[in-house]
Amino acid sequence: MTDRRCSQSSCSRVAAATVTLDYEGSTVAIGPLAPDYAGEGYDLCLTHARRLTAAQGWRVLRHIELWDEP
């Protein structure tokens, strides 16, 4: 499986989503954990993925359901 972790410095949870940034479209995309990504992206755990909010002028696209943790 994966041992990737949330990219938040204070967080050690397992990554559950990959966030990618589209600067041209001013869009933040949250999608399934990418097995291999390049460029502007980082991993987040469920909690931080749910809390993610876009900077002013940016949109957030959620491609996955951010289900509640058990």
Chain residues in the site for Zn ion (CB under 5 A): 6, 8, 11, 13, 45, 48
Nearest residue (CB) to Zn ion, 20 versus 23: 20
Nearest residue (CB) to Zn ion, 9 versus 56: 9
Shortest reach from residue 51's CB to Zn ion, in Å: 9
Residue 17 burial (CB count, 10 A): 24
In whole angstroms, give the CA distance from residue 66 to residue 18: 12
Q: Which residues lie below 8 Å from residue 24, measured CB to CB, with a gap of 6+?
A: none
Nearest residue (CB) to Zn ion, 2 versus 26: 2
